[in-house]
Amino acid sequence: MKIALIGGSGFVGTNLISLLSKNPNIQILNIDKQTSIKYNSITTIANVLDKPSLISSLKGIEVVILLAAEHKDNVSPISLYYDVNVEGIKNTLEAMEMNGIKRIIFTSSVAIYGLNKENPSENTPADPFNHYGKSKWEAEQVLQEWHKSHSDWNINIIRPTVIFGEGNRGNVYNLLKQIASGKFLMIGKGNNKKSMSYIGNIVAFIEFLTSKKTVGYDVYNYVDKPDFTTNDLVYHTGEVLNKHIPTTHIPYWLGMLGGYCFDAMGWILRKKLTVSSVRVKKFCAVTQFDSTKAMDSGFVPPFAIEEGLRRTLETEFGK
């Protein structure tokens, strides 16, 4: 099987290539606008916005895994979300059609549901609150329309929740780093649940879809259970690192006020600051999602989420 990852030079792509490369029956191509630190020998430099390059690069490919996305909270200009996440899927589909490729796995996001929803499943109406979520939902709608006229295609959409693991420098890493430092400031009561995905499990699920789900159109939330509260993360961090983690609680309204102050400061300084009102809102939100469909698909996660958290904490913050 010849598989192309588009946008595979990042955290998820690098771990996915590591897993797929263990199978001698799979040939892998990475297409990315940046070089791969670990897998540069199989990487072709191309931008998802450059359709002619995609058409050329995808010759002979059987399955496309589209990972490329603009996803950070502070992307500027805002139009980049829609250029990359929406126009990118259009270019990819057209390049696939030109090469006779009929199988795609697309990584969307649970951001399409919005904030503070009650354990949404794949059937919950989309209600994104930010441009990242809106652009991902628009990309999914492009796929929906495409499938209406390409019913013989195999399309799998994964909506993962926040992904963490060894080597990642995203939101979960920043949260765990703050907790592990012992200087953690808790905004709110800390009882809000946080659905998360361990990197070893999400790449295993993508591998599962390449080999087991070869027909039809399906959408899957991906979440590793159980869901931890922020208080749970503080507790587990202390247990794994064998240290007492003191926490100071401040009211939500005060945290949001501070976030707006940082927004104003960033606008004045023309800098992207690590604290913002959006990040405070996301920190305090309930981000709990239903993953029954993925877990009933026949997939068995290779790691318990507690094991993934332990591995991450020991690797990143252990002595």
CATH of the domain at 6: 3.40.50.720
On whether residue 232 sits in a domain, the answer given is no
H helices of the chain, in order, are 11-20, 51-57, 79-82, 88-98, 131-149, 171-181, 199-212, 230-241, 252-269, 277-284, 292-295, 305-317
Rounded to the nearest 10 degrees, what angle do helices 171-181 and 230-241 cross at?
Answer: 60
Whole-number pLDDT of residue 319? 64
Q: What is the mean pLDDT of the chain?
A: 93
Could you tell me how many residues make up the chain? 319
On whether residue 148 sits in a domain, the answer given is yes
User: Over the stretch 68-98, which tens digit does the pLDDT of each residue have?
Assistant: 998 776 667 888 889 999 999 999 999 999 9
Whole-number pLDDT of residue 91? 97
On whether residue 50 sits in a domain, the answer given is yes
CB 103 within 8 A of CB 96: no
The catalytic residue positions are: 132
On whether residue 255 sits in a domain, the answer given is no
Q: How far apart are CA 173 and CA 175, in angstroms?
A: 5
On whether residue 293 sits in a domain, the answer given is no
DSSP 126: P
Q: How would you classify the pairing of strands 154-160 and 217-222?
A: parallel
User: Over the stretch 33-57, which tens digit does the pLDDT of each residue have?
Assistant: 999 999 999 999 999 999 999 999 9
Domain encompassing residue 115: 2-167+197-222
User: Over the stretch 197-233, which tens digit does the pLDDT of each residue have?
Assistant: 999 999 999 999 999 999 999 999 999 999 999 999 9
Q: Provide the number of structural domains found in the chain.
A: 1
On whether residue 178 sits in a domain, the answer given is no
CB 51 within 8 A of CB 94: yes
On whether residue 239 sits in a domain, the answer given is no
Phi, psi of 28 (to 5 degrees): -120, 135
The pTM assigned to this predicted structure is 0.90
